[in-house]
Amino acid sequence: MNLAAMSHRPESEDCFLYTSKKLRLRFHTAQNDVAKVVVLYGDPYWQELDQHQQYRLSYQRKPMSQLGTGQVADHWGVTLEAPYQRLQYLFEVTGQDGSKWLFGDRGLRKDTESARIDTGNYFRVPYFHEIDRVKTPDWVKETVWYQIFPERFANGDSTNDPVGTKPWRPSDHPGRDDYYGGDLQGVLDHLDDLQALGVNGLYFCPIFTASSNHKYDTIDYLTIDPDFGDKTLFAKLVNEAHKRGMRVMLDAVFNHMGFASMQWQDVLANGKKSRFASWFHIHDYPLTPFHNPLKGEGAPQYDTFAFESRMPKLDTANPAVQDYLLQVATYWIQAFDIDAWRLDVANEVDHHFWKRFYSAVTAIKPDFYILGEVWHSSQPWLNGDEFSGVMNYAFTQQIEDHFLTGKQTAAGMTALLTDQLMLYRDQTNQVMLNMLDSHDTPRLLTVAGDDIDLALQALTFAFLQTGTPCLYYGTEMGMDGENDPDDRKPMDWTKLGQPIWQRVAKLIGFRREHAATLGRGMTKLEVTPSGLIKVVRHGRETLTAYFNTTASSVPLTAAPVLHQRFAQNELAPKGFVVAVN
């Protein structure tokens, strides 16, 4: 048995309170190395008389289930309850070779009765404090998000169009500085269409005053960009969305400001004497703006987002900056009743600020959703005092690499997805934002080579995974587009209600109908001997799905409630079936 491969971390994603009374444990072993794992557990203070009338530790036994297999490891899990809100536990590991070991807080021991009752080697959860439980908003687990890039969604009010606004042509290939006149009135005009599609969460790219069409260079965080409307219109939009059961998430850019912001302009005008000089990471004076090292112009004298000299980076460790940004964060909740913040470039912002941010917004709305933009492993932000979840690019990249580009095998994908699920607590996985495209990536249909069946197969697989799914505007219309700015074409409203729209709406309806299981249930991924990818979701019911990513039809007996390219007990390539047991 490979003893070096065994691992478990107490009070982490391997040991966490799922509810106030249920403790979930995970244990990891080398792939195909261990036959079974049993957890020995009990109250740290409970003892019983043995046959010799001596008091000794009393423990219970419970087998762990195999949660799945990753690239190099098997993952095991179990849920425990404790009558006195405290537990100690030890792992009994039986290898495929028949050997037995005990894995505990102070190391490995040969499996003997004396080692079993050695309380010093037990892991402990001293008390099930409710405050220690990582809480994530339950409503997010039943939400299907829809991402709106406001400038390209719909032009509902031509009177606020910027100078030089272009005609609304979905076939265009936009330039970086083009305007098409999209606004909040356009969103309001199409709320009924979004309700008919079935989405119940609206995720807006930035809507605050900014210089660009994308609005990620904020000038004023406390005003609506006049290209989009005003606060009265936004309040009406939020109210109308809430009437339809839709939550509203805004995009906050707290890593950097726009060049035209009052604060940065004051620094340019007054240099070191500016009261905002300490708000930014400035290395040298006098300032010369617009340096771009990628163009051989030398590095800026101040830190920026990437190499964008028009986006000076804020010093988010500065208490004055923190206080200002917290004023912004709480204002839009208190004044307009928004339900969530998506946080741009969240991994480059000070951790202490995010802890203050979490406390401030959840004090107003305890079930507020906080979504960070982090493209890599995110454990430091997901321990219950910063973010609810992150944009799950690391997870969904594995889906794209197999379904759409073929860079990864089916077995490789399921292993990587299983490993990803082990990085976070179950309640955290349930609110990670799963999307196959966004304003920062090529569109799904383009990556799929304009193959609608292939795109919808991948989208269906993503919608069946743990996490809250997100649809990028226009996917339901069959829109395509390469990377930024081509992925930001004007919405093609001529495709409303067309066959692809109907197929996407049906998928959304299925996700919401089975939200109790898909939003909270356990996930098991595997590849069958015939090469089909099998997804099993256990919750209030059991959902079983098969996806054919091979080059040949595969025999399959099933009674699906959702399917594609399945007939006469044959599942064709690019096909899937989803059954409810």
Give the active site residues: 344, 373
- Burial call 391-411: b when 16+ CB within 10 Å, e when fewer: bbbbbbbbbbbbbbeeebebb
Given a contact cutoff of 8 angstroms between Cβ atoms, the answer to whether 244 and 187 are in contact is: no
Contacts of 531 (CB under 8 A, 6+ apart): 410, 548, 549, 550, 554
Q: For residues 434 and 471, what is the distance between their CA atoms, to the nearest angstrom?
A: 9
The pair phi, psi for residue 298, each rounded to 5°, is 85, 160
CA distances from 165 to 209, 225, 308, 419 (A): 17, 16, 25, 47
Which residue in this structure is represented by tokens 């100690």? 88
Given a contact cutoff of 8 angstroms between Cβ atoms, the answer to whether 533 and 554 are in contact is: no
In eight-state DSSP terms, residue 72 is S
Contacts of 273 (CB under 8 A, 6+ apart): none
Q: How many residues in the chain?
A: 581
Q: For residues 330 and 318, what is the distance between their CA atoms, to the nearest angstrom?
A: 18
DSSP secondary structure string, 166-200? PP--TT----TT------HHHHHHTHHHHHHHT--
CA distances from 352 to 368, 385, 391, 511 (A): 19, 10, 21, 36
Contacts of 70 (CB under 8 A, 6+ apart): 31, 415, 416, 418, 419, 422
Q: For residues 240 and 251, what is the distance between their CA atoms, to the nearest angstrom?
A: 19
Query: Which residues lie across from 61 on neighbouring strands?
Result: 40
Number of H helices, E strands in the chain: 15, 30
CA nearest to 338, candidates 250, 251, 253: 250
CA nearest to 75, candidates 561, 524, 539: 524
In eight-state DSSP terms, residue 400 is I
Which residue in this structure is represented by tokens 């304009």? 450
